[in-house]
Chain A
Amino acid sequence: MLFHSQEFLFYFLPLVLVIFYLFKATRLDAISLYFLITASLFFYAYWKVEYLLLLLSSILINYLLGGWLCKRPDKKAMISGVVFNLLLLGYFKYLTFSVNTFNYLTDSNFISPEVILPLAISFFTFQQIAYLVDAYQQKISNHNIRDYFLFVSFFPQLIAGPIVHHHEMLPQFKKESSRKEWGMNMAVGLTLLSMGLFKKAILADSVAPYSDEVFNMAESGETVTMLAAWSGLLAFSFQIYFDFSAYSDMALGIARMFGIKLPVNFYSPYKAKSISEFWSQWHMTLSRFLKEYLYIPLGGNRSGHLRTFLNLFITMFLGGLWHGASWTFVVWGVMHGVFLIIFHASKTLGLRVFDIFPKFFQNTLRCGLTMFAVMNTWVFFRADSFSSALALLQGMYGFNGLVLPEKYMLFNFFSLLPVTFHSVPGFFGLKQLMLLAALGGVIWFMPNTIQMIGKFDAALEGDLKPLKNQIWQPKLSYGIAMGFIFFIGVSLLWKVEEFVYFQF
């Protein structure tokens, strides 16, 4: 079931909320949690009932292993648990990829069985690996089956994150909320849900056709010229930004309606002034997982610069592979790894290239450079194959010439450049540029949802960079405005596309 589907918004969510709060109102708090588990499992099974068994087995085996590790912190048992999870992920996500790669390298012809990737497997696997490691490190105080099932399967975060920590969730399951809190939770939750739906339906999906067009052209072998390539890539950069931001808002909002605060997962990443900052604002819970359970165990930055760089590289390589079983995702991860290494190396060497500029320009240039680097990596993230990624890069860097639409001949300025004028397939003119400019304005000049909600705490950590003035208020007028925004989102949701991150 998708968050922006009719079934979810009009049937599943309202029904689950009503029953959940009926149990709460009658002081049946424990039953309300069991009900939430049942609803979450139904939510998962709605996609493919066969895979419910996989989810249940995974949860049960990890629960038992976790219990064992809580009592006896045995390293071998912990490693076996991690390997079990990775094997499960490996079979369902990477088997076909591995066989194809092996066939390619050895010129052999092995056939891999057809495996459908179970929804959310990358997310619930990582969450459970973290739990096992923490159990081994004796960081878990209360290991019980009900809370564990809910911790893994809680539907607002099950499909595409955030990847939550047990210590963030378990205490909240026990907390009793007052009537006053109920109102505030619903108000904040509805706001986040509406904002997310609006971002998805209006902002992300409005630019999707532009990026699809250019990437499809590259895939089908058509020549992509510079203007089309950059405008299409910018469209994709904005599409994935709003898509993921929308999903994160909706996940936070839906969880909040049940009185649960999830951790921040997305915090204006395109405002980042370095690639390192980007990763602390984009898919923040994945970055946290990779840092705590991969980068630090590899040695982190404790064993000299070269080892730090290698650790960064390995972490991002695997981070790329986590996103998808394809070498294009690996290249995407590797590019981020290399950029991170360059960033840390320049920091170590004390290179301060931008310091000659005034403060404002320094920040703008840093932000621009980070965005430029991130955009280049998106080429591999979005492209269906290496050939189409390279075809697009070829266009971006002028190997297919600089071509402008004929009507731009009117501007004398362009005649000074080595430009040819004829039609530019994949570029949709002023309409596209205006849309991109508007979305850019939203990204760089507006506060994010968490900042808007401000002191009313959209997420577990509260607001990371609070604004001076509180924007959102739980008032009638805001409710009316947000109801309208929700209507706009709902009225467009019939043709809304799937979230990009659902495929992982």
Chain B
Amino acid sequence: MQNNGTRSLHYIAGFVFSFLFFCASSALFNYFVDPFGIFGRNQVGYYFESEREVKEGLGRRYGYDGLIMGSSKVGYIAVSKIEGLHVLNAAWDNAFPEEMYYYIKDVEPKVSFIAIGLDFYMFNARYPLVEQSEFTPTLSKYLPYVVSFDIFRQSIEAIYKNYRARKINYLPQGEKNKWQEMLEDQKNSQFDYSGIEPFLSNNRYRDFSFSQERIEVLQKIKELCEERGIRLYFWVNPYHARGHAVIEKFKLRDEWDRFIIVLTKVTPNLVNLNEEQYRLRGRESYWSYDFIHYYPETGKRFLEEFVLKNEIKEKN
């Protein structure tokens, strides 16, 4: 019969062995499946809604000519269809300028240009500044990625979804996989405004006051890009006429005008796609249930024609 002293040493040995065994198994599995593409080994596709993680992985691992950033509107842009440029769509839902700054600073994407699509809501001071720690760059270190129960679970899920041929959420260049939905949406001839107006009134534009701090963040992004020799473009995402009607309804036209004026001061080369010459009015360019998100193709057209003309010319 062993005494407690010897048994406790066996206990410790068992503990250490078991812990290391499970860590190593999880690490190997996550490394080979690589659900967020951190190691460039992902073969199964990107299935997860965790945009910030997916975009971080893509930005960190691969080289591109450039990347585009912004909110979900930018996330829809079909960068894979842009001819002559290899562009990463590094946009995510509800993005704020400070998050883009953290991304550029920490992920250090290997690009020669960055184009950022801005939105009015991003400058609503009601939304507090996102702290660096809240941006959760969890994938910036390999250890938390490979020794992670969550990633392990997602690796299994990704394999399963791939096996069942489920729709992937993001295409390899980071754009949202919305092609199927777009074809279905195009069958509707009318807009349905019922959902989007309450969303804007309860969230985006409620208690709007202009955030000067975020303008300063744009300045920081500019300086960072200059430091790294990256060409920087800013544009303001186009709203459908109906979107502008909502801005009028909330009596925010003055704030909107101020937003454009201040932005133009920071970035004289700003392209405001809400100006008359760019504006699209037809149903064919926007989702039927949503007049602020344009179709992947529409976004790509805007980007090519009005923002990236130089880059395309330069590359060709």
Please give the residue numbers on chain A whose beta carbons come within 8 Å of chain B beta carbons, in ascending order: 6, 179-180, 183-184, 186-187, 190, 194, 473-484, 486-488, 490-492, 494-495
Could you tell me the distance between the alpha carbons of A110 and B224 in the complex, rounded to whole angstroms? 41
For residue B145, which residue of chain A has the nearest CB? A494
Q: B8 interface residue, CB < 8 Å from A?
A: yes
Q: How far is the CB of A502 from chain B (nearest CB, A)?
A: 15
- Are A183 and B144 interface neighbours, CB within 8 A? no
Chain B residues 15-69 with CB under 8 Å of chain A are: 15-23, 26
CA distance A492 to B14 in the complex (A): 21
A491 touches B11 (CB 8 A): no
A480 touches B147 (CB 8 A): no
Across the interface, name the chain A residue whose C-beta is closest to B19: A483
A473 to B149, CA, bound (A): 27
Contact A484 B11 (CB under 8 A): no
27 pairs, CB–CB < 8 Å, chain A vs chain B: A6-B144, A179-B5, A180-B8, A183-B8, A183-B11, A187-B11, A187-B12, A190-B11, A194-B15, A474-B8, A475-B10, A476-B11, A476-B13, A480-B14, A480-B17, A483-B14, A483-B17, A483-B19, A483-B20, A487-B18, A487-B19, A487-B22, A487-B23, A490-B19, A490-B23, A492-B148, A492-B149
Check B8 against A486 for contact (C-beta < 8 Å).
Answer: no
Q: Does B281 contact A (CB under 8 A)?
A: no
Confirm or deny: B220 has a beta carbon within 8 angstroms of a beta carbon on chain A.
no
Which chain A positions have C-beta within 8 A of B15? 187, 190, 194, 479-480, 482-483, 486
Contacts of A183 in B (CB 8 A): 4-6, 8-9, 11-12
Residue ranges of B at the interface with A (Cβ–Cβ < 8 Å): 3-23, 26, 136, 138, 143-144, 147-150, 152
CB of A200 to closest CB in B, whole Å:
14
Going nearest first, the 8 A-B pairs with the smallest beta carbon separation are: A479-B14, A483-B18, A180-B5, A183-B8, A491-B149, A479-B11, A487-B22, A494-B144
Say yes or no: B148 contacts A479, CB within 8 Å.
no
- Chain B residues contacting A194 (CB-CB under 8 Å) are 15
- Contact assessment for A486 and B19 in the assembled complex, using a CB-CB cutoff below 8 Å: yes
Chain A residues, Cβ within 8 Å of B14: 475-480, 483
Question: Do A495 and B138 form a contact, CB below 8 Å, given A190-B12, A483-B17?
Answer: yes
Chain A residues contacting B138 (CB-CB under 8 Å) are 494-495
Q: Which residues on the A side are within 8 Å of B148 (C-beta)? A: 491-492, 494
Chain B residue, CB-CB nearest to A477: B14
Q: Which residue of A lies closest to B9 (CB)?
A: A183
Closest to A491 in B: B149
Judging by beta carbons under 8 Å apart, are B149 and A484 in contact? Answer: no
A186 and B10 in contact (CB under 8 A), knowing A492-B148, A494-B138, A494-B144? no
Q: A181: nearest residue on chain B (CB-CB)? A: B5
Chain B residues whose CB sits within 8 angstroms of the CB of A477 once the complex forms: 14
Residues on the B chain within 8 Å of A180, using CB: 3-5, 8
- Residues of A within 8 Å of B147, CB to CB, are 490-491
A7 to chain B, nearest CB (A): 12
A407 to chain B, nearest CB (A): 21
Chain A residue with the shortest CB-CB distance to B147: A491
Are A481's CB and B18's CB within 8 A? Answer: yes
Look across to chain A and name the residue whose beta carbon is closest to the beta carbon of B23.
A487
Give A289 to B15 CA distance when docked, in angstroms. 37
Residues on A with beta carbons closer than 8 Å to the beta carbon of B20: 483
Residue in chain B with minimal CB distance to A487? B22
A186 — which chain B residues lie within 8 A by C-beta? 8, 12
Measured between C-beta atoms, what is the minimum distance from B118 to chain A in Å? 26
Q: How far is the CB of B140 from chain A (nearest CB, A)?
A: 11
- Given known contacts A491-B147, A491-B152, A494-B138, A187 and B8 CB-to-CB distance under 8 angstroms: yes
Q: Give bound CA distance, A463 to B37, whole Å.
A: 49
Given the complex, which residues of A lie within 8 Å of B136, measured CB to CB?
A: 495
Most chain B CB atoms below 10 A, which of A180, A476, A477: A476
Residues of B contacting A478 in the complex (Cβ-Cβ under 8 angstroms): 11, 14
- Shortest Cβ distance from B11 into A: residue: A479
